[in-house]
Homo-oligomer: A and B are copies of this chain.
Amino acid sequence: MSELAVKAEKLDASDELAAKRAEFVLDEVVYLDGNSLGALPAAVPGRVEDVVRRQWGELRIRSWTEGGWWTAPERIGDRIAPLVGAAAGQVVVGDSTSVNVFKALVGAVRLARSADGGGPGRDEVRDEVRDEIVVDATTFPTDGYIAESAARMTGCTLRPVTPSEVPGVLGARTAAVLLNHVDYRTGRLHDLPSLTAAVRAAGALVVWDLCHSAGALPVGLDEHGVHLAVGCTYKYLNGGPGSPAFLYVRADLQDRFDSPLPGWNSHVEPFGMRADYAPAAGAVRGRVGTPDILSMLALEAALEVWDGVGVAAVRAKSLALTDFFLECVGAYVPKGRVECVTPLAHPERGSQIALRCEDAGDVMQRLIERGVVGDFRRPDVLRFGFTPLYVGFADVERAARVLADVLAEVPA
């Protein structure tokens, strides 16, 4: 047994999250693609069967009231809230991430333009016309596309910049800023506290996309004064393919949150069937249409794996996993064959490692054939996601070893 394999064994033996792996359905594969689709939590199949056969098949419409279907979006939102550092009553689940980006960004522009603005600095800027949306140009594309639409529909211009350029472009014209917490490609973790503070100081509103951080590392939405946030639930939250996304609206902004998608589920009296719209108070205001119950209750079951788990412990293990992966890659892979594009500094690293590599598409295909599943991002990136709840250190050592084997076969 190699030295690193022995080290992996020791690390696994002292891993306080190791027992969590048994709460997932896993096989002999090393699954490092949980940042695309989380593995199946063992509690989900039975729950889904109950939802389909008993709640839908037997109770039918009674489940809307008696079975807790109607209140699922806010109940599950409250289950996610502590994982992103939010007190209860600020997170609601439903719709896709893209749709929630639209709600949040249009809502942010409207908040920035409303009488008392969104935060500090509002006295200085209340008379200005806020007509600019700043967006992370390196973000996952859908955020940019939706931001463009939000800008067009609110009379704003869109200003795409890199996250490091954000502080320099903020000003009295800035209405809202849409940022990604962790870059989907490089795995770079952006500085949420300082960027949020900069946006607040400019009297603008910030919207954070937490797709690649929720469930992987501490976010601290309340602590850092974030205005709005969105995120998906099928990556580190293991909610299942296309499971509903979430929307966070800070408590003190909810009364002025003016959604561009005011469906009947966000009405103060949804069954009053009133012709005039009057929005509900609280996180419920972020709802739109009838919630997608099958997917939503699968997510609720999936979130049970978080019982007794703190995000700080998850983060500590995540950094240990990615550190150890880099150590193993350094030891096994000949110099020059891969280049790490994920920052080495812990405060700048999410829960994935992206390696630039020649013929990355072919290399990933071979890795998958040998039971190491990551993914390929064009043009030349091998992406490996590390989900601390079910990935162990022996998995990491094996992944690096198989990568070295594959690279030995593929001409440099």
Q: Residue A149 contacts which of B148, B241, B260, B290 (CB distance < 8 angstroms)?
A: B260
**Is A249 engaged at the interface, CB distance under 8 Å to the other chain?**
no
Q: Residue A97 contacts which of B144, B153, B290 (CB distance < 8 angstroms)?
A: B290
Q: Residue A294 contacts which of B63, B95, B294, B378 (CB distance < 8 angstroms)?
A: B294
Q: Known: A25-B57, A60-B37, A69-B241. Contact between A289 and B145, CB under 8 A?
A: no
**Is A217 engaged at the interface, CB distance under 8 Å to the other chain?**
no
Evaluate contact between B290 and A234: CB separation under 8 angstroms: yes
**Is A98 engaged at the interface, CB distance under 8 Å to the other chain?**
yes
Per-residue CB proximity of A122-158 to B under 8 Å, as 1/0? 0000000000000001001110111011000110000
Per-residue CB proximity of A262-299 to B under 8 Å, as 1/0? 11110100011111010000000000111111111010
Bound: A262/B102 CA distance, A: 10
Q: Known: A148-B277, A298-B52. Contact between A98 and B264, CB under 8 A?
A: yes
Bound: A197/B290 CA distance, A: 31
**Is A8 engaged at the interface, CB distance under 8 Å to the other chain?**
no
Interface-side segment among A38-46, A186-194, A394-402? A38-46
Residue of B nearest to A69 (CB): B241
Q: Which range contains the number of A residues in contact with the other chain?
A: 35 or more
Most chain-B Cβ atoms within 10 A of its Cβ — which of A36, A96, A97, A271?
A96
Bound: A27/B58 CA distance, A: 8
Evaluate contact between A53 and B45: CB separation under 8 angstroms: yes
Interface residues of A in 182-209 (CB under 8 A from B): 185
**Is A48 engaged at the interface, CB distance under 8 Å to the other chain?**
yes
A97: chain B residues within 8 A (beta carbon): 289-290
Bound: A293/B96 CA distance, A: 12
In the assembled complex, the CB of A129 is this many whole angstroms from the nearest CB of chain B, namely 17
A288: chain B residues within 8 A (beta carbon): 96, 98-99
**Is A56 engaged at the interface, CB distance under 8 Å to the other chain?**
yes
Per-residue CB proximity of A229-267 to B under 8 Å, as 1/0? 000101000001111110000000000000111111101
Evaluate contact between A45 and B37: CB separation under 8 angstroms: no
Most chain-B Cβ atoms within 10 A of its Cβ — which of A53, A99, A377?
A99
Q: Known: A99-B289, A242-B290. Contact between A153 and B295, CB under 8 A?
A: no
Evaluate contact between A263 and B142: CB separation under 8 angstroms: yes
**Is A61 engaged at the interface, CB distance under 8 Å to the other chain?**
yes
Interface residues of A in 51-79 (CB under 8 A from B): 52-53, 55-58, 60-61, 63-64, 69
Evaluate contact between B61 and A262: CB separation under 8 angstroms: no
Residue of B nearest to A58 (CB): B27
**Is A375 engaged at the interface, CB distance under 8 Å to the other chain?**
yes
Q: Residue A145 contacts which of B99, B148, B241, B262 (CB distance < 8 angstroms)?
A: B262
Q: Which 6 A-B pairs have the closest CB atoms?
A: A96-B289, A98-B263, A98-B289, A241-B293, A142-B264, A40-B57
**Could you list 12 examples of A-B contacts with CB < 8 Å?**
A40-B53, A64-B241, A69-B241, A96-B263, A99-B99, A99-B263, A141-B264, A145-B263, A149-B261, A234-B290, A241-B294, A242-B289
Known: A25-B58, A145-B262. 11 other contacts (CB 8 A): A40-B53, A40-B60, A52-B240, A52-B298, A141-B267, A142-B265, A144-B275, A145-B277, A242-B290, A242-B296, A273-B378
